[in-house]
């Protein structure tokens, strides 16, 4: 009887070890599969020529690039929205890029703006960043993190960051065929906020939230001016 009991115990241990081995192999396979699906320019320093190619596919306002692995390649919907976030801190673009480099953080954004008005790209526009806690929204939106020059309170952002936000939103809309930005105060508009998709955050903070109607107006005004300039330039060339 003792021999049978020991055999069963020995057999159970081997089954347990085989289970651990199977789990380890599954994890390795999943990691390899995920890595194989990543574009080759993700998660590493880019050459000057590679950076230029990335800028040409995205915004000409970009000052810094680090392409995060925390994204879906490509997004599965057309770009039709902008979603504004705040960093909840006065982070550098490089520091935020380092944060987004860690896969276990499972977070990223398409763009970020620091307090001096510099712009970073972390996820190309053709790909879905993991930013808003809403797969549906992030597949439709270009997401933008903005640095705060005030910690807590209204989570204020600098004038330089705010002005660059207007320029970046205008640029994104112009290149993606968004002719008008509409802030409705809920997720039905095409200018949305992180807090609309999560009850656990107040992002982008009271200051930026209070400026959403102003941002929409400024972007729409600039889009109209750009279209008028393009129209005038076209008419002028036809008259020659």
- pLDDT per position as a tens digit, 181-210: 999 999 999 999 999 999 999 999 999 999
pLDDT band at 27 (very low <50, low <70, confident <90, very high): very low
pLDDT at position 24 over 90: no
Number of independent structural domains in the chain = 1
Query: CA torsion angle for 18, 22, 23, 27 (degrees, to 10)?
Result: 150
Query: What is the structure's pLDDT at 3?
Result: 54
Range in 1-5, 56-60, 149-153, 222-226 with the lowest mean pLDDT: 1-5
Residue 121 in domain: yes
Query: What is the structure's pLDDT at 233?
Result: 84
What is this structure's pTM? 0.84
Which residue in 32, 43, 69, 67 sits closest to 53, CA to CA?
A: 67
What digits encode the pLDDT tens for the residues 78-120? 999 999 999 999 999 999 999 999 999 999 999 999 999 999 9
Tokens 């906020």 label which residue? 193
Measure the CA–CA gap between 139 and 126, rounded to whole angstroms. 9
pLDDT at position 19 over 60: no
Please list, in sequence order, all residues whose beta carbon lies within 8 angstroms of the beta carbon of residue 60, skipping any fewer than 6 positions away. 171
CB 161, CB 185: distance < 8 Å: no
CB atoms within 10 A of CB 73: 14
pLDDT at position 34 over 60: no
Output the domain CATH number for residue 216. 3.40.80.10
Tokens 């190309």 label which residue? 124
Q: What is the mean pLDDT of the segment spanning 209-231?
A: 96
* Domain that includes residue 142, residue range: 48-239
Q: What is the mean pLDDT of the segment spanning 4-27?
A: 50
Give the DSSP letter of residue 142: E
Q: Is the dihedral of CA 40, 99, 55, 81 positive or negative?
A: positive
Residue 42 in domain: no
Which residue in 67, 85, 73 sits closest to 191, CA to CA?
A: 85
CB atoms within 10 A of CB 47: 10
Residue 34 in domain: no
């Amino acid at each position: 009887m003792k021999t049978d009991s020991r055999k069963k115990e020995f057999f159970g241990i081997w089954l347990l070890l085989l289970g651990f081995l199977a789990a380890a192999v599954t994890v390795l396979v999943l990691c390899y599969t995920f890595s194989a699906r990543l574009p080759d320019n993700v998660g590493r320093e880019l050459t000057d020529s590679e950076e230029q190619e990335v800028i040409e596919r995205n915004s000409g306002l970009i000052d810094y690039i680090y392409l995060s692995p925390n994204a879906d390649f490509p997004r599965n919907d057309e770009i039709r929205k902008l979603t504004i976030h705040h960093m909840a801190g006065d982070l550098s673009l490089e520091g935020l890029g380092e944060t987004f480099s860690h896969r276990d953080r499972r977070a990223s954004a398409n763009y970020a703006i620091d307090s001096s008005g510099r712009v970073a790209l972390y996820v190309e526009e053709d790909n879905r960043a993991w930013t808003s806690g809403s797969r549906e929204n992030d597949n439709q939106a270009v997401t933008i993190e903005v640095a705060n020059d005030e910690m807590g309170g209204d989570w204020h952002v600098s004038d330089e960051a705010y002005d660059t936000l207007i320029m970046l939103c205008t640029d994104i809309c112009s290149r993606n065929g968004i002719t008008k930005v509409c802030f409705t105060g809920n997720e039905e508009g095409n200018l949305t906020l992180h807090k609309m998709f999560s009850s656990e955050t107040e992002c982008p903070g009271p200051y930026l939230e209070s400026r959403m109607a102003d941002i929409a107006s400024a972007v729409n005004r600039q889009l109209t001016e750009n279209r008028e300039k393009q129209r005038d330039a076209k008419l002028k060339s036809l008259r020659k």
